[in-house]
Chain A
Amino acid sequence: MQLNPSEISELIKDRIKNFEGAAEARTEGTVVSLMDGIARIHGLADAMSGEMIEFPGNTYGMALNLERDSVGVVILGAYGHISEGDTAKTTGRILEVPVGEQMLGRVVNSLGEAIDGKGAIETDQFMPIERIAPGVIDRKSVDQPMQTGLKAIDAMVPVGRGQRELIIGDRQTGKSAVAIDAIINQKGTGIKCVYVAIGQKASTIANVVRKLEEHGALEHTVIVAASASDSAALQYIAPYSGCTMGEYFRDKGEDALIVYDDLTKQAWAYRQVSLLLRRPPGREAYPGDVFYLHSRLLERASRISEVCVEKYTGVKGKTGSLTALPIIETQGGDVSAFVPTNVISITDGQIFLESDLFNAGIRPAINAGLSVSRVGGAAQTKIIKKLGGGVRLALAQYRELAAFSQFASDLDEATRKQLERGQRVTELMKQKQYAPLDVAEMGVSLYAANEGYLDDVDVNKIVAFEGALLAHVKSNFGDLLDSINATGDYNDEIAGSIAKAIEDFKANGVY
Chain B
Amino acid sequence: MLHRACALQPDILSAVAAGREREALVAAHLAACPSCREQADAISWMGQLAEAPQPSHPLPDPGVIWWKAQLLRRWQAERVASAPIERMHWVELVAGFATLAVFLVWQWRGLSTLVARAIPAGLSALSTAAPPSNPLVLMLILCGTATVGAMVLAGLHRMLYRSHL
Do A and B pair up? The answer is no
Task: Identify the A interface with B (CB < 8 A).
Answer: none
